[in-house]
Amino acid sequence: MLGRVPYPAPDQRGGFLQGRTNAVKHFRFELRGKRRIHQTPDRVHITACRPWLVAEFARLHPQIVVVLGATAAKALLGPTFRVTKQRGELLPWPASAQHPEDFTRVPVDNAGKVADAPEARLLATIHPSAVLRADNQDVAYDGLVADLEVAARALAA
């Protein structure tokens, strides 16, 4: 599962907030009283986090990559990818990546030996927080579950 996850404690010093996420580790927020309103990271933030993202994939060798939300999808698939148009669709991984060459060779030992990455698939869906913001939460939730069921069936096959 790959998505943007906010850090649990706000950084009151302002500027950027470092958090735990697989797609984007630095992102902006605006304080409104005691609440943080998260702002979508721009291309600079996504690009800055790419080395960590590539390293995580090199270690994990996933069978299925589930991308949660537009930020994570654009980090992997490029700025023109639209979750709303391709959600729930299994795509070849890493062939569908914006830069597939980043993910095709993976380390196999501590001595620096590399090999071809195993074939995998990718599925994009909405971020779970989008269900909470949806006008019709039941429909949004059902769509998210249906997308995740596609991934589950692919893993079971």
CATH number for position 108: 3.40.470
Average pLDDT score over the chain? 80
For the cut 90, the answer to whether the pLDDT of residue 105 exceeds it is no
Lowest mean pLDDT among 25-34, 47-56, 77-86: 25-34
Quote the DSSP letter at residue 8: S
Strand partners, 3: 68
Q: Please report where in the chains the tokens 């302002």 appear, as a residue.
A: 14
CA distance 61 to 90: 17
CB 4 within 8 A of CB 27: yes
Q: Which residues, 6 or more positions from 83, have their beta carbon under 8 angstroms from its beta carbon? A: 67, 69, 70, 73, 124, 125, 126
Host domain of residue 139? 2-156
CA distance 125 to 55: 23
Cis peptide before 100 (omega within 30 of 0): no
Q: What is the pTM of this model?
A: 0.76
pLDDT recorded at residue 21: 43
What residue type is 38 in one-letter code?
A: H
Helices within 61-127 (DSSP H only):
70-77, 83-86, 101-104
The number of distinct structural domains making up the chain is 1
Closest by Cα among 122, 144, 24 to 77: 122
Share of the chain above pLDDT 90, in %: 30
Chain centroid offset of residue 76 CA: 7
CB 122 within 8 A of CB 90: yes
